[in-house]
Amino acid sequence: MPPRKPIVGVMGPGKTEVRTEPVDKHVDLAMELGKQIASHGWLLLTGGRNLGVMDAACRGAKSAGGTTIGILPGPDALDVSDAVDIPIITGLGSARDNVNALSSSVLVAVGMGPGTAAEVALALKARKPVILLATQPEAEKFFQSLDASLVHVAADVEGAITHVKALLAAKEAAEAEA
């Protein structure tokens, strides 16, 4: 059986979340991150809605020929991004954050809002590695205080991708030994 493609989760503020940075910065970073994820052959997982970081990451991945998965909070696909290939309808509301965290091999947070903070915390609780990109120093310090071995800070998209590569390689090596 061929190895499964890694799933890289990209989480970040939607338009309804509180932001301290301009959303355009996050959208631009998410779009480039989505492109890079697709160019490496990884699957992209987001919250699947048609706004903010989740939409931008999906659009970036699609522009580079990638496959996108959207974990939707509602009981239907009403607000799904048209750049989502595989919409997962959960009806779970914010509880879908746990699905996002558990389904991702690595989670990249672009910016920070309440929902993103919940997803990062759930990923850490599940011992999933997290990369913080364009987040506030206070958020970085807080999440690193929870588990510095799992939390990585990237200065830019290239740095985030470098972390993803290293983390996926380490995961693959550990699985090969098991």
Q: Are 149 and 129 in contact (CB under 8 A)?
A: no
Share of the chain above pLDDT 70, in %: 94
Q: Please compute the mean of the pLDDT values over residues 140-158 and round it to a whole number.
A: 98
Q: What is the pLDDT of residue 176?
A: 87
Give me the pLDDT at residue 33, please.
99
Residue 140 placed within a domain:
yes
pLDDT for res 16:
46
CB atoms within 10 A of CB 74: 16
The pLDDT assigned to 17 comes to 47
Q: Is 132 within the bounds of a domain?
A: yes
- Residue 2 in domain: no
> Rounded to whole angstroms, how far apart are CA atoms 72 and 81?
10
Rounded to the nearest 10°, the torsion over CA 111, 116, 118, 120 is -60
pLDDT of 87-143, one tens digit each? 999 999 999 999 999 999 999 999 999 999 999 999 999 999 999 999 999 999 999
Structural domains of the chain, count: 1
The reply to whether 42 falls in a domain is yes
Beta carbons of 84 and 59 less than 8 angstroms apart: no
Question: Above 80 in pLDDT, residue 81?
Answer: yes
**Tokens standing for residue 110:** 């672009």
Half-sphere exposure of 93 (CA within 13 A, CB side): 0
Domain assignment of residue 1, yes or no? no
Range of the domain at 89: 7-177
Domain contains 164: yes
Residue 80 maps to a domain: yes
9-46: pLDDT as tens digits: 999 998 744 455 555 789 999 999 999 999 999 999 99
Q: What is the CATH number of the domain that holds 151?
A: 3.40.50.450
Distance (Å, rounded) from C-alpha 10 to C-alpha 172? 20
Cα(26)–Cα(17) distance, integer angstroms: 13
Closest by CA position to 53, among listed 96, 113, 125, 95: 113
Of 62, 36, 14, nearest in space to 163 by CA: 36
